[in-house]
């Protein structure tokens, strides 16, 4: 067996923050934002790194995965909230919300996606920014997720890991992630599903939730989105909604 704690450590080994071009893209945004919420923060790598680099503002990480948050909590100068994006109840507290490492693609159902985006918009100050990426469906990244492309690591112990697609239904790809020891004994199999929204559908969801797309890129070097792009990288800004104005204009309740 591979424990949840080991799985969280394995995630960190494979995704050490700072090793990827995407990390530099987000670091630059976080550095300039006084109050940052990282939705789907996982083991907290981005916020740990931000503090290491001297960020002095408010940093909050949110994730429903307890084992990942336990690793994140090794650093106590960041707030860690357990929960999902849809259940987020913050009101106009943040200048920047991020969803990194394709966490956005975990929102596979329309209703969950709508509720998550609305909650993220409410958590932002008007004009605050939501930065995230999603893999472009046209590039069909899942076609490489086969046992023929395994990864080996030496921490938390010598392991081999691979993915296998189970189904592609509409824009949702369901797959397994298997972890085995060097002798080939399978220690753990996890199931997951990711949604691959194209830019037009994505923008419809963003508009309904009260966002305006401010910047759109096809890679981490801020190149344009093209026919060949493998990523859809978005920075959207939160538009003040009529219900926000109504709430602000409402008389204060009597004591
Ligand atoms: C691939 S990991 C990315 C972790 C981290 N952001 C990174 O860049 O390494 C996706 C994360 O999204 C979280 N997640 C899944 N569903 C979520 C939801 N509904 N709301 C918030 N986070 C969610 C998972 O628990 C997981 O930690």
Q: How far is CA 117 from CA 19, 168, 218, 223, in A?
A: 28, 24, 21, 25
Q: Rounded to the nearest whole angstrom, what is the distance from the C-alpha of residue 225 to the centroid of ligand 1?
A: 24
Query: Average per-residue pLDDT in the chain?
Result: 94
Q: Rounded to the nearest whole angstrom, what is the distance from the C-alpha of residue 103 to the centroid of ligand 1?
A: 4
Binding site membership of 61 for ligand 1 (Cβ less than 6 Å): no
Chain segment 107-153, per-residue pLDDT in tens: 999 999 999 999 999 999 999 999 999 999 999 999 999 999 999 99
Residue 241 pLDDT grade (very low, low, confident, very high; cuts 50, 70, 90): confident
Binding site membership of 101 for ligand 1 (Cβ less than 6 Å): yes
> Quick one: which H or E segment has residue 126?
strand 124-135
Residue 240 pLDDT grade (very low, low, confident, very high; cuts 50, 70, 90): confident
The residue nearest atom 7 of ligand 1, judged by CA position, is 101
pLDDT at 16 over 70: yes
Binding site membership of 68 for ligand 1 (Cβ less than 6 Å): yes
Q: Assess contact for 204 and 190: CB atoms under 8 A.
A: no
Binding site membership of 64 for ligand 1 (Cβ less than 6 Å): yes
Question: ∠ CA 148-152-153 to the nearest 5 degrees?
Answer: 165
Take residue 49 and report the two structure tokens written for it: 């790194």
Secondary structure in 3-state letters for 21-51: HHHHHHHHHHHHCCEEEEECCCCCHHHHHHH
pLDDT value at residue 255: 45
pLDDT value at residue 246: 53
Range 3-11 average pLDDT: 93
Strand partners, 160: 152, 180
The residue nearest atom 12 of ligand 1, judged by CA position, is 40
Closest ligand 1 atom to 22 CA: 8
Q: How far is CA 137 from CA 9, 112, 173, in A?
A: 29, 20, 10
CB-CB neighbours of 254 under 10 Å: 4
The residue nearest atom 3 of ligand 1, judged by CA position, is 101
The residue nearest atom 18 of ligand 1, judged by CA position, is 84
Identify the residue whose tokens are 């429903």. 64
The residue nearest atom 22 of ligand 1, judged by CA position, is 40
């Amino acid at each position: 067996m591979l424990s949840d704690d080991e799985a969280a450590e394995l995630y960190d080994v494979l995704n050490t923050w700072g090793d990827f071009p995407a990390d530099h893209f987000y670091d630059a945004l976080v550095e300039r934002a006084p109050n940052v919420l990282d939705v789907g923060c996982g083991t907290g790598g981005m916020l740990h790194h931000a503090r290491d680099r001297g960020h002095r503002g408010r940093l909050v990480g949110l994730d429903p995965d307890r084992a990942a948050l336990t690793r994140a909590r090794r650093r106590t100068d960041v707030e860690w909230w357990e929960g999902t994006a849809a259940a987020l109840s913050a009101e106009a507290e943040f200048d920047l919300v991020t969803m990194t490492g394709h966490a956005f693609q975990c929102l596979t159902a329309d209703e969950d996606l709508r509720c998550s985006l609305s909650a993220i918009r409410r958590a932002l100050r008007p004009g605050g920014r939501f930065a995230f990426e999603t893999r472009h469906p046209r590039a069909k990244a899942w076609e490489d997720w086969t046992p023929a492309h395994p990864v080996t690591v030496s921490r938390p112990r010598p392991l081999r890991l691979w993915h296998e697609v189970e189904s592609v239904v509409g824009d949702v790809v369901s797959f397994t992630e298997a972890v085995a020891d060097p002798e080939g004994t399978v220690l753990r199999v996890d199931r997951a599903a990711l949604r691959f929204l194209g830019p037009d559908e994505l923008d419809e969801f963003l508009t309904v939730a009260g966002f305006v797309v401010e910047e759109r890129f096809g890679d981490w070097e801020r190149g344009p989105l093209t026919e060949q792009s493998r990523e859809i990288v978005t920075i959207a800004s939160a538009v003040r909604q009529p219900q926000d104005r109504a709430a602000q204009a409402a008389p204060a309740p009597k004591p």
